[in-house]
Structure 1
Amino acid sequence: MEHSEQPTHKTHDEPHHASHYEQREHYAPREPREQRPHKPRAPGDENTIFIGKKEVMAYVLAVVTQFTSSPNEVKIKARGKAISRAVDVTQIVKNRFIPTMRISDFKAETEEVPNEDGTTSRVSSLTLTLTK
């Protein structure tokens, strides 16, 4: 008894099966997120690194670059969940790149941040002043 081989790949004659995204009736491509308007830096902020959601090493590179370009002082500012990232950045810079660096000042505060609905939220903030 002969047995014929069936092709294991799809042919053009087979119907297209929609992906789970295409199966949704309300599926539409995402709109690009609105970018917040760029705020100009305040005077005195030239040597300040604002810690956000990027990887830690991106901020480490920024701090090391600031120190090598001339200033003897760099400030690191962070709010909320980014505070632990700011501490990590400081320790990595000190332990791996600039062993003579020290924290000459720090300021812990609570800031009121406006929400989209017009209310305000209180958020912890930390400013570390680093000197070499």
Structure 2
Amino acid sequence: MIKKKSDDATIFIGDKPFMNYVTAAMLQFNSGNKEIFMKARGKHISRAVDVTEVLRNRFMNDVKVNNIEIGSEDVKSREGREMKVSTIKISLTK
């Protein structure tokens, strides 16, 4: 899922095709944003890292990783159980 907030450029990594996220990040930088954020939870964390590395190494060599935040969130499962899900937020600057 790709979402953008009005006050910052945040890309939420989900199940869409990989290159959609790379393209979204390039569009954010090309539209004048100096900083964007990649956010992911659970099994999508590795995809967020991969998107960041493809963006930096293949498409935009001047993009730098500014900060990485990791954590966990409490989420209710479909069965109603409380569980913790790992999260990552990658800050990229140009």
Same topology, TM > 0.5: yes
Residue 68 of structure 2 corresponds to residue 106 of structure 1: yes
User: Which of the residues 20, 41, 57 maps onto 1:79?
Assistant: 41
Q: Which amino acid aligns with 1:54?
A: K
Cα deviation for residue 41 of structure 1 reads: 6.9
Structure possessing the higher relative contact order (Cα contacts under 8 Å, 6 or more residues apart): 2
The percent identity for this pair of structures is 41
In the superposition, the TM-score normalised over structure 1's length comes to: 0.64
Cα deviation for residue 114 of structure 1 reads: 1.8
Alignment of 1:33-44 (within 5 A): 44=7
- Secondary structure of the 2:37 match is strand
1:77-126 CA-to-partner distances (Å, cap 9, x unmatched) read: 00011001001100111011110101101100011112233321111000
User: Comparing both structures, which one devotes a greater share of its residues to helix?
Assistant: 2
- Secondary structure of the 1:81 match is helix
Q: Which amino acid aligns with 2:75?
A: V
Partner of 1:90: 52
Alignment of 1:1-132 (within 5 A): 44=7, 46-132=8-94
Aligned mates of 1:86, 1:71 — CA distance in 2: 19
In structure 1, runs of 5+ residues without a counterpart are 1-39
Change (3 A) 1:84 1:112: same
Aligned mates of 1:43, 1:93 — CA distance in 2: 22
Q: Number of matched residues?
A: 92
Aligned mates of 1:96, 1:41 — CA distance in 2: 23
